C-alpha cells in the first residue's frame, strides 16, 4: 500500500487545498493511504526533517517560510540552527510538504534463521513542497491518476489565480 503523508498547517488555506486535492484524487483508490499530519501538534524530529530535506533536495534554510517573522534571523544562521528552529517551531516550515514512501525491492532475498526477525521493508522517500497545492499530484503520478484529476487541476488553478 502506498502511503502519502501531508505535513500541513491546519490554519493555512494552501495546506487545506493540498489536502483536499489529495483526498479527492485518491478517494476511490484503496491502495493509497492518506495521512494528514498537523505539524503544529506533531512537529517533525530532526531526523524526519533531514530525510525530507534530502528527498526535496533542499538545504534547511530553503525550507524556512520567508514570510515568518524569524525568517531573516534564521537566514544568518547555519543549517543546524535552522533545522532545530523548525523542529521547535514548525510554523517556520514553508509548507505544505507531501511525502511518499516507496517500497524498495531488496537485492538479496531474506533468508530467515532461527533467532532473527525479518527486517522492516526498506523504503525510499519522495517529497514535494506543495506550492502551489496542485503540485501534490506529482507524487501520485506513478500510481496513475483518475480521469477526474484534470478537472481538479482546472478548479485548483482557477481558485489560485483569483
pLDDT at 30: 81
Helix ranges restricted to H, the chain: 13-25, 46-56, 71-75, 79-88, 149-160
Length of the chain: 162
Of the candidate CATH numbers 1.20.910.10, 3.30.420.40, 3.40.1190.10, 3.40.30.10, the domain formed by 2-105+120-160 belongs to 3.40.30.10
Q: What is the residue extent of each domain of the chain?
A: 2-105+120-160
- The DSSP call for residue 135 is G
DSSP reduced 3-state for 119: coil
pLDDT at 6: 94
pLDDT of residue 79: 87
Instruction: Answer yes or no: are the C-beta atoms of 119 and 110 closer than 8 Å.
Output: yes
pLDDT along the chain (162 residues), means of 10: 88 91 83 89 93 91 92 86 93 92 59 59 78 85 62 61 49
pLDDT at residue 162, as a whole number:
46
Q: How many CB atoms lie within 10 A of CB 150?
A: 10
Amino acid at each position: 500500500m502506498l502511503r502519502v503523508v501531508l505535513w500541513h498547517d491546519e490554519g493555512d488555506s494552501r495546506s487545506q487545498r493540498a489536502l483536499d486535492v489529495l483526498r479527492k484524487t485518491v478517494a476511490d483508490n484503496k491502495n493509497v493511504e492518506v495521512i494528514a499530519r498537523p505539524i503544529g501538534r506533531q512537529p517533525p524530529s530532526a531526523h524526519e526533517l533531514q530525510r525530507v530535506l534530502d528527498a526535496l533536495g533542499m538545504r534547511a534554510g530553503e525550507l524556512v517560510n520567508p514570510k515568518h517573522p524569524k525568517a531573516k534571523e534564521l537566514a544568518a544562521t547555519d543549517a543546524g540552527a535552522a533545522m532545530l528552529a523548525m523542529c521547535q517551531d514548525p510554523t517556520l516550515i514553508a509548507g505544505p510538504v507531501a511525502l511518499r514512501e516507496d517500497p524498495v525491492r531488496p537485492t538479496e532475498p531474506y533468508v530467515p534463521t532461527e533467532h532473527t526477525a525479518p527486517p522492516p521493508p526498506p523504503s525510499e522517500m519522495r517529497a514535494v513542497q506543495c506550492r502551489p497545492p496542485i503540485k501534490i499530484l506529482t507524487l501520485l503520478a506513478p500510481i496513475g491518476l483518475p480521469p477526474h484529476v484534470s478537472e481538479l487541476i482546472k478548479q485548483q488553478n482557477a481558485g489560485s489565480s483569483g
